[in-house]
Amino acid sequence: MNTILIADRESAHRQQIRRHIDSHSEFRVIGECGSCRETVQYVNALEPDVLFLDVQLAGGRTFELFQQADHLPKVIYTAQNESYALQAFNHQALDYLLKPFAAERLDAALQKVVDRTVTPPFHGTHLFVEDGERMRRIALHDIRYLKAAGDYTVVYSDKGEFVSSSGIGSIERKLDPSRFMRVHRSFIVNLEHIDACHRDIGRLYLIMENGQEIRVGKHYLHQIKSLIL
């Protein structure tokens, strides 16, 4: 079952989305909020699978929310018009819905969630990354870790550093979870390249083979702890 958080500045719109979702047994609404501050708190605390997110929430800039969040759900943006559509899809929107919501559009958005959930990750041995005007073929085992850089992702590998125009969440869905692990909202690591880990004042850090130190986000600690004997 997919869990859903609804973030909209107007309670009437939140209720419309909730009523529609309640008619689908494969989804469950776990919370509602109406401001940017609340949304960050709820996302980190509840870790929803899906976030319906109003592009004009009170108290901040919606597209900067995930710089403060440790958990990255699939995001369906909602808006009064199409003005923010391009910006939304540049931030890896799963869908973009116009208010008032038509039932068929809500159904289509929820179907995208289902389709994305059941799509298996890429389990090949190589990927292509941008290298100037070329696309460089790189073996997955050569990738040490990936770091979010705004809307882009920096790929650190044995062959050098490359900048991908894809967001880190989009790349994560292509990687084999048995080899790559999200350890922070800004980092994905190749488990084969972790050399050690250590604690410091209650925080856990990974030491990569190249000496890079990466702090594990508090919402990802359980994944690392599952690797410790």
The per-residue pLDDT for range 43-90, each reduced to its tens digit, is 988 889 999 999 999 887 788 887 777 778 899 999 999 999 988 888
Asked if CATH classification 2.40.50.1020 holds for the domain at 126-225, the reply, yes or no, is yes
Asked if 169 and 72 count as a contact pair (C-beta separation under 8 A), the reply is yes
Domain with CATH 3.40.50.2300 in the chain: 2-118
pTM as predicted: 0.58
**Rounded CA gap, 159 and 133, in Å?**
17
Superfamily for domain range 2-118: Response regulator (3.40.50.2300)
Q: How far does the chain reach from its first CA to its final CA, in angstroms?
A: 31
**pLDDT score of 119 more than 60:** no
DSSP string, 6-56: EE-S-HHHHHHHHHHHHT-TTEEEEEEE-BHHHHHHHHHHH--SEEEEETT
Domain with CATH 2.40.50.1020 in the chain: 126-225
Asked if 110 and 27 count as a contact pair (C-beta separation under 8 A), the reply is yes
Asked if 117 and 101 count as a contact pair (C-beta separation under 8 A), the reply is no
